[in-house]
Amino acid sequence: MPKNKGKGGKNRRRGKNENEETKRDLLFKEEGQEYGQVIKMLGNGRCEVYCFDGKNRLAHIRGKMRKKVWVSAGDIVLLGMRDYQEDKVDIIHKYNADEARNLKAFGELPETAKINETAIDLTLEGGSDSEDEIGVDFDEI
């Protein structure tokens, strides 16, 4: 007879769908906090974040959020600033798209903030011209 090593079967591992779309209160920044947008995921719970005070910083996803709240590139997040490290911050809260739009409407986020943008859109920002990037003009062929 095999040993019972776990705390349940397949259904327990899948878990309950507790993170259903529920109405949450909108969190505003306080002293020592800043809004930011994730630019790039680096792995090991770290990511590169553009803070809306104008600086790029290295962010660390807090332990309570790891493996529960999935942060990806382009997400608007609330950051906790560190007193002892200027270039490192902690991700405290992730806003969904509706909450981010509300923050923008309240004037908390700058007008230049892009809410529903992917990582590719964040890196391109300028867009492409009418010419092909390779430099081939298909009219002459």
Asked if the structure places residue 137 within a domain, the reply is no
Nearest alpha carbon to residue 73 among 94, 44, 52: 94
pLDDT digits (tens, 9 = 90+) for 57-82: 999 999 999 988 999 999 999 999 99
Asked if the structure places residue 60 within a domain, the reply is yes
pLDDT digits (tens, 9 = 90+) for 100-136: 999 999 999 988 888 876 544 555 555 545 444 555 5
pTM of the model: 0.69
Q: What is the CATH number of the domain that holds 52?
A: 2.40.50.140
Asked if the structure places residue 85 within a domain, the reply is yes
Asked if the structure places residue 1 within a domain, the reply is no
- The domain tally of the chain equals 1
Contact 36, 50 (CB under 8 A): yes
Note down the domain range covering 91.
28-114
